[in-house]
Amino acid sequence: MIVSVDNLTRQYGARTALAGVSFQVREGEIFGVLGPNGGGKSTLFRILATMLAPSNGSASVAGYDVERQPAEVRRRIGVVFQSQSLDKKLTVFENLRAQGQLFAMHGRALAERIEEVASRLGLADRRNDLVDTLSGGLRRRVEIAKGLLHRPTVLLMDEPSTGLDPGARRELWQYVEELRDRQGITVLVTTHILDEADRADRLLLLHEGKVVAEGAPAELKARIGGDVVILDVDQPALLLPDLRARFGVEGVAQNGSVRVEIGNGHRFIAEAVEAFPGAIHSVALHKPTLEDVFLDETGANLS
């Protein structure tokens, strides 16, 4: 296992950010950590990036313990921060050169590697532009180029799509998938965005510092089975007993609507509208999303 996390716990004073988290990441996969803000993702990211010591438990990357062998770990990870780690007053090339020097790369080998990484990320014609003048999407690509420069085996990315428009987000993920497919790089990405989580090979759902589910996105969604139907009604709580009696389903009342997970949603809708005349204002049906999975496991919304 390329990343192995065992019973990881982190406390900030009285607050517990991570409470006994365990999971493993396989080599060459895109592993997503999905959860709401404050769920423990960033703490996990910082521990894996060797910026923060765990209070308890352990984590290893490429066989090296993050707490006891941070230098070995640092050589093998590429870190893409949520916040900008670029120097805006320097050009793309100068940023990448400084990064390479931190990893003892220099001279022609460094220059060639910069060209290689920059052209792979579509930055070749921007090499002499000041970072200040680049768009958010381009800056994020420079961040990734920085993370890849020293040929890491694991790329850690903290909320990489934050602040990117949908187009830039799609582009970014094309690059990430290419990295996995062509170079076998393992990618661990934290996110609270569903689109992004859907593109991971496997996912960890994190809530209040605990693992609530783990698996491939399709697998997690399949657990719900069937469809999700949302009935917009005046008094959701009153409808629940009737639903149980007539259809044998457990609905969940939530602000002004009832949420039902059921096979053959379209048939249920027709019958429900007929069964409760006038009570239902509007109806929505969708296939289960990761949001539904999260709601199911925690009773809380993702965002």
Q: How far is the CB of 49 from another protein (least distance, A)?
A: 5
Q: What is the DSSP letter of 36?
A: -
Q: Does 97 bind another protein (CB under 8 A)?
A: yes
Q: Does 109 bind another protein (CB under 8 A)?
A: no
x-or-dash string of contact with another protein, 217-256, rule CB under 8 A: ----------------------------------------
Q: Does 207 bind another protein (CB under 8 A)?
A: no
Identity of the residue, 102 or 216, whose beta carbon is nearer to another protein in the bound complex: 102
Q: What is the DSSP letter of 7?
A: E
Q: Does 284 bind another protein (CB under 8 A)?
A: no
Task: Please enumerate in sequence order all residues whose Cβ is within 8 A of that of 241, keeping only pairs 6 or more positions apart, or say none.
Answer: none
The one among 26, 68, 89, 266 contacting another protein by CB under 8 A: 89
x-or-dash string of contact with another protein, 40-59, rule CB under 8 A: ---x--x--xxxxx------
Distance, CA of 52 to CA of 69 (rounded, Å): 13
Q: Which of 84, 83, 53, 85 is nearest to 66 (CA)?
A: 53
Cβ-count burial 30-55 (b if 16+ within 10 Å, e if not): bbbbbbbeebbbbbbbbbbbbebebe
Identity of the residue, 75 or 221, whose beta carbon is nearer to another protein in the bound complex: 75
Q: Does 299 bind another protein (CB under 8 A)?
A: no
Q: 167, 152 in Cβ contact below 8 A?
A: no
Q: Does 75 bind another protein (CB under 8 A)?
A: yes
Q: What residues form DSSP beta bridges with 155? A: 78, 187
Q: Does 189 bind another protein (CB under 8 A)?
A: no
- The DSSP element (H or E) to which 189 belongs, if any, is strand 186-191
How many residues lie near another protein (CB under 8 A)?
Answer: 32
Q: How far is the CB of 237 from another protein (least distance, A)?
A: 42
Q: Does 83 bind another protein (CB under 8 A)?
A: yes
Q: Which of 174, 143, 146 is nearest to 159 (CA)?
A: 143
Distance, CA of 298 to CA of 179 (rounded, Å): 33
- Give the footprint of another protein on this chain (CB under 8 A): 12, 43, 46, 49-53, 71, 74-75, 77, 79, 81, 83-87, 89-90, 94-95, 97-99, 101-104, 106, 146
